[in-house]
């Protein structure tokens, strides 16, 4: 759809129409080249004065909160005095144009009852003729552009009105785009500040909790060796709860290290088969308590890899822990690993509750869990998968999930076997 006002230019002679349209195209390209408000306003008033042959130009924008019309930018020596100045909606030419939503050309401004002399007095200017046009986006007025004092003429003619109206359409879109970009930047800055505060909280909380927790663990372990019977069982519950809290704190610390860039890779060459066996043995008792079976498919070939063993251990531990947690009693868990070209593929599958398709893109988000926070049946604060993803991506790898509700899930992560030979990798799974 062609901008408002362009069709009106068809009343001009062909040569002038072509020249103006070419100029409008160039102006539109210039306006679309920046989304910063101040540079944009400078371009607008410069192009508007040149295109219509006038002495000055002012842009007034509507404040969405107060509904007031305010000067945003103007030409001339005293323009800085006008910036932010409120233009009366009921007793000014710009206010009339904003309310009526139509252009207005006045050959003798001082003879018009709508003219407000306060502006001239403020900047020491003499206004003779005015052409004011509304700036509209989707039929919503966002401001007014005023062209002041047509050079060498008694006032603006119909050609000027058509040109100004066509220009206003491009200007309004450019200003609205700049406003939306500014709002987006403010939202981004706010999110960045919230993220910084969250990281500080995690750092302080994890530091303050570690010392008393260490004391609890030491004394609970000591006391457990001194007592028996019911008291020993109760102390065992204390130890298990304390260990779970320590695991949560460790998760928080790991994420903070990733955020601050402190999570450095300490590479070594190790056997993925041995690491998988180690993690499986560690969680063996936990799976047996739920009568779950864990099976392995690791093939006959060696699966050596150059990576940070401790961080890959965290990945496997989090994935296996999740599988055990979300798989009901007597369920099955399967871990497979294989080499494909220069990559190592590891999968952890289960016959658990599954994940709805709409949630698959969010399960790696921090603190996110599929269940509502007030109705969670499973322990944890939703950091395990986020940590796994961070650790994999530190290795320039990738991780994803596949799932069917009530059937189970499969988490797969892929790592380059040798970091010095990294093939181009897709964004997600196959």
197 burial (CB, 10 Å; 0-12 / 13-18 / 19+) is: exposed
Q: Looking at per-residue confidence, does 179 or 270 come out higher?
A: 270
Q: How far is CA 425 from CA 106, 305, 312, 365, 398, in A?
A: 65, 17, 19, 22, 8
pLDDT average, residue stretch 31-57: 79
Q: Which residues of 1-36 are buried (b: 16+ CB within 10 A; e: fewer)?
A: eebbbbeebeebeeeeeeebbeebeebbebbeebbe
Terminal Cα distance for the chain, rounded? 41
Question: Does residue 1 fall inside a structural domain?
Answer: no
Q: What is the pLDDT of residue 344?
A: 95
pLDDT 10s digits, 54-76: 888 888 899 888 888 998 888 87
Is the separation of the CB atoms in 103 and 132 below 8 Å? Answer: yes
Question: Does residue 423 fall inside a structural domain?
Answer: no
Please give the helix or strand (H or E) that residue 399 lies within, else none: strand 398-404
Question: Does residue 379 fall inside a structural domain?
Answer: yes
Question: Does residue 424 fall inside a structural domain?
Answer: no
* pLDDT at 79 > cutoff 90: no
pLDDT 10s digits, 362-408: 888 876 665 544 345 555 556 778 888 988 998 999 999 999 999 99
pLDDT 10s digits, 316-337: 988 998 899 899 999 999 999 9
Do 85 and 204 have their domain in common? Answer: no
Out of 162, 185, 208, a domain closes at 185
The four Cα atoms 61, 66, 68, 69 give a dihedral, to 10 degrees, of: -10
Do 251 and 364 have their domain in common? Answer: no
Rounded CA-CA distance 117/113 in Å is 10
Q: What is the pLDDT of residue 6?
A: 46
* pLDDT at 220 > cutoff 90: no
Do 244 and 132 have their domain in common? Answer: no
386 burial (CB, 10 Å; 0-12 / 13-18 / 19+) is: buried
Q: What proportion of the chain, given as a percentage, has pLDDT over 90?
A: 29
Residue 232 structural domain: 193-259
Q: What is the pLDDT of residue 427?
A: 46
Do 328 and 375 have their domain in common? Answer: yes
Total number of domains constituting the chain: 3
Residue 366 CA from chain centroid, whole number: 15
How would DSSP label each residue in 116-172? -THHHHHHT-----EEEEEEEETTEEEEEEEEEEETTSSS--HHHHHHHHHHHHHHH
* pLDDT at 221 > cutoff 90: no
If pLDDT is split at 50, 70 and 90, which confidence band does 41 have?
confident
Rounded CA-CA distance 57/87 in Å is 15
125: nearest Cα among 107, 110, 135: 110
The CATH number given to whatever domain includes residue 341 is 3.30.565.10
Going by their DSSP bridges, the two strands 140-150 and 54-62 should be labelled as: antiparallel
Q: What is the pLDDT of residue 29?
A: 66
Q: Does the predicted TM-score (pTM) go above 0.95?
A: no
If pLDDT is split at 50, 70 and 90, which confidence band does 12 have?
low
pLDDT 10s digits, 173-185: 888 888 888 888 8
């Amino acid at each position: 759809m062609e901008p408002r006002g362009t069709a009106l230019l068809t009343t001009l002679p062909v040569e002038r129409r072509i020249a103006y349209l070419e100029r409008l195209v160039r102006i539109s390209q210039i306006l679309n080249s920046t989304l910063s408000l101040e540079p944009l306003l400078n371009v607008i008033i410069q192009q508007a004065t040149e295109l219509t042959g006038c002495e000055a130009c002012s842009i007034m924008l509507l404040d969405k909160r107060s509904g007031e019309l305010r000067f945003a930018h103007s030409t001339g020596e005293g323009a800085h005095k006008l910036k932010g100045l409120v233009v009366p909606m009921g007793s000014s030419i710009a206010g009339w144009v904003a309310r009526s939503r139509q252009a207005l050309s006045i050959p003798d401004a001082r003879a018009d009852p709508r003219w407000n002399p306060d502006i001239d007095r403020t900047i020491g200017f003499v206004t003779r003729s005015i052409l004011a046009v509304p700036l509209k986006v989707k039929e919503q007025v966002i401001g007014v552009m005023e062209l002041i004092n047509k050079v060498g003429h008694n006032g603006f003619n119909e050609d000027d009105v058509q040109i100004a109206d066509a220009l206003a359409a491009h200007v309004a879109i450019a200003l609205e785009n700049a406003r939306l970009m500014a709002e987006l930047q403010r939202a981004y800055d706010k999110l960045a500040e919230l993220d910084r505060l969250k990281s500080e909280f995690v750092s302080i909380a994890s530091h303050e909790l570690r010392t008393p927790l260490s004391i609890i663990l030491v004394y609970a372990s000591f006391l457990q060796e001194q007592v028996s019977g019911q008291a020993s069982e109760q102390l065992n519950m204390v130890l298990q709860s304390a260990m779970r809290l320590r695991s949560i704190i460790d998760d928080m610390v790991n994420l903070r290290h990733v955020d601050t860039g402190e999570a450095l890779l300490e590479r070594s060459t190790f056997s993925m088969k041995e690491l998988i066996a180690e993690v499986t043995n560690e969680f063996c008792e936990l799976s047996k308590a739920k009568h779950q079976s864990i099976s392995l498919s690791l093939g006959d070939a060696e699966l050596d890899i150059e990576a940070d063993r401790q961080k890959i251990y965290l990945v496997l531990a989090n994935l296996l822990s999740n599988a055990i947690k979300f798989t009901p009693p007597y369920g099955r868990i399967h871990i497979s690993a294989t080499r494909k070209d220069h990559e190592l593929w590891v999968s952890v599958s289960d016959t658990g509750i599954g994940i709805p398709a709409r949630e698959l893109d969010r399960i790696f988000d921090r603190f996110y869990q599929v269940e509502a926070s007030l109705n969670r049946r499973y322990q944890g604060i939703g950091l395990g998968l986020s940590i796994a993803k961070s650790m994999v991506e530190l290795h320039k790898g990738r991780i994803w999930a596949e799932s069917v509700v009530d059937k189970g899930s499969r988490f797969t992560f892929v790592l380059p076997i040798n970091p010095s030979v990294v093939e181009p990798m897709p964004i997600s799974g196959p």
